[in-house]
Amino acid sequence: MLHFFPAIGPFLLGLCVPHGPPLGSALVQKFESFNTGILLPLFLFFPMLQIDGPWLVEEVQKLRHYDGQMYEALNIIVVVSASKMFFTTIPPLLAKMPLTDSFVMSLILSNKGFVEMCYFMYAVEKKTLQVKSFTTLALMILFSSTVLPVVIHYLYDGSSRFICFQKRNLMSLKLGSEMKFLTCIHKSDHISGVINFLEQAFPLEDSLLTCNVLNLIELVGLDNPLFISHQMQKAEPGGRSYSTNVLIAFDEFKHFWKSITVELFTSISNPKYMHQEIYSLALDKQVSFIMLPFHKIWSLDHTTVVSDDVMRRNVNINVLSQAPCSVGVLVHRQKMVSAQKREPIFKVCAIFVGGKDDREALAMGKHMMRNQKVRLTVLKLVPGTVVGMTTGWDQMLDTAELKETLRNSITPSEGEHNFVEYLEETVDDGSDTSRILLSIASAFDLFVVGRSSGMGTDVTRALSEWTEFDELGVIGDLLVASDFPQRGSVLVVQQQQNVACR
Structural contact between residues 292 and 327, judged by C-beta atoms closer than 8 angstroms: yes
Distances (CA, A) of 284 to 164, 267, 280, 324: 11, 15, 6, 11
Q: What is the mean pLDDT of residues 473-494?
A: 86
Q: Which residues contact 420 (CB under 8 A, 6 or more apart)?
A: 365, 369, 376, 377, 378, 405, 406, 408, 409
* pLDDT at 355 > cutoff 80: yes
| pLDDT at residue 408 in the model | 63
Which among 67, 284, 76 has a CA at the least distance from the CA of 168?
284
* pLDDT at 313 > cutoff 70: yes
The alpha carbon of residue 231 and the mean position of all alpha carbons in its chain are separated, in whole angstroms, by: 24
Query: Which pairing describes strands 261-269 and 326-331: parallel, antiparallel, or unpaired?
Result: unpaired
DSSP per-residue string spanning 94-125: HTT--HHHHHHHHHHHH---HHHHHHHHHHHH
pLDDT tens digits for range 226-262:
888 887 665 555 555 556 778 888 888 877 777 788 8
Q: Which residues of 213-238 are buried (b: 16+ CB within 10 A; e: fewer)?
A: bbbbbbbbbbeeeeeeebeeeebeee
* pLDDT at 81 > cutoff 70: yes
Which among 448, 373, 372 has a CA at the least distance from the CA of 415?
372
Average pLDDT over the chain reads 81
3 state SS of 187: coil
Q: What is the mean pLDDT of residues 409-421?
A: 55
Query: Which pairing describes strands 305-308 and 296-298: parallel, antiparallel, or unpaired?
Result: antiparallel
* pLDDT at 474 > cutoff 80: yes
| pLDDT at residue 74 in the model | 82
Q: Is residue 265 very low, low, confident or very high in pLDDT (cuts 50, 70, 90)? A: very high
| pLDDT at residue 308 in the model | 78
Counting other chains too, the contacts that 90-97 makes at CB distance below 8 Å and 24 or more residues apart are none
Counting other chains too, the contacts that 414-420 makes at CB distance below 8 Å and 24 or more residues apart are 416/372, 418/369, 418/372, 418/374, 418/375, 418/376, 420/365, 420/369, 420/376, 420/377, 420/378
Structural contact between residues 289 and 179, judged by C-beta atoms closer than 8 angstroms: yes
Domains, the chain, in order of start with CATH, read 50-156 (no CATH), 179-494 (3.40.50.12370)
DSSP per-residue string spanning 202-232: S-TTS--EEEEEEEEEE--S-SS-EEEE-TT
| pLDDT at residue 341 in the model | 47
* pLDDT at 338 > cutoff 60: no
More confident site: 345 or 475: 475
CA-CA distance, 372 to 137, in Å (whole number)?
A: 73
* pLDDT at 169 > cutoff 80: yes
Query: Which pairing describes strands 261-269 and 226-229: parallel, antiparallel, or unpaired?
Result: antiparallel
Q: Which of 268-282, 296-310, 464-478 has the lowest mean pLDDT?
A: 296-310
pLDDT tens digits for range 274-289:
999 999 999 999 999 9
Most confident of 60-69, 180-189, 220-229, 379-388: 180-189
Which among 142, 149, 140, 146 has a CA at the least distance from the CA of 77?
140
Q: Is residue 379 very low, low, confident or very high in pLDDT (cuts 50, 70, 90)? A: very high
Which among 196, 215, 217, 463 has a CA at the least distance from the CA of 331?
196
Q: Is residue 387 very low, low, confident or very high in pLDDT (cuts 50, 70, 90)? A: low
The alpha carbon of residue 462 and the mean position of all alpha carbons in its chain are separated, in whole angstroms, by: 29
| pLDDT at residue 21 in the model | 67
β-partners of residue 308 are 296
Backbone torsion region of residue 20, taken as left when φ is above 0, otherwise alpha when ψ lies between -120 and 50, otherwise beta? left
* Mutual angle of helices 69-94 and 131-155, in 10-degree steps: 40
3 state SS of 383: strand
CA-CA distance, 200 to 376, in Å (whole number)?
A: 13
| pLDDT at residue 6 in the model | 67
* pLDDT at 1 > cutoff 70: no
* pLDDT at 312 > cutoff 80: yes
| pLDDT at residue 411 in the model | 44
Q: What is the mean pLDDT of residues 135-159?
A: 85
CA-CA distance, 235 to 197, in Å (whole number)?
A: 23
More confident site: 485 or 232: 485
Specify the pTM.
Answer: 0.79
| pLDDT at residue 495 in the model | 92
| pLDDT at residue 219 in the model | 82
Which among 362, 365, 367 has a CA at the least distance from the CA of 207?
367
More confident site: 499 or 287: 287
CA-CA distance, 417 to 69, in Å (whole number)?
A: 89
| pLDDT at residue 174 in the model | 81
Q: Is residue 210 very low, low, confident or very high in pLDDT (cuts 50, 70, 90)? A: confident
Residue 271 has a CB neighbour count (10 Å cut-off) of: 19
> Is residue 181 exposed (0-12), middle (13-18) or buried (19+ Cβ within 10 Å)?
buried
CA-CA distance, 362 to 381, in Å (whole number)?
A: 14
| pLDDT at residue 494 in the model | 94
Q: What is the mean pLDDT of residues 294-320?
A: 82
* pLDDT at 223 > cutoff 90: no
Q: Which of 59-63, 249-253, 339-343, 443-447 has the lowest mean pLDDT?
A: 339-343
- Fill in the DSSP letter of residue 163: -
CA-CA distance, 298 to 44, in Å (whole number)?
A: 45
Structural contact between residues 59 and 69, judged by C-beta atoms closer than 8 angstroms: yes
Q: Is residue 337 very low, low, confident or very high in pLDDT (cuts 50, 70, 90)? A: very low
| pLDDT at residue 204 in the model | 63
Counting residues of the chain whose pLDDT is more than 70, the rounded percentage is: 86
Query: Radius of gyration over alpha carbons of the chain, in Å?
Result: 29
Residue 303 has a CB neighbour count (10 Å cut-off) of: 9
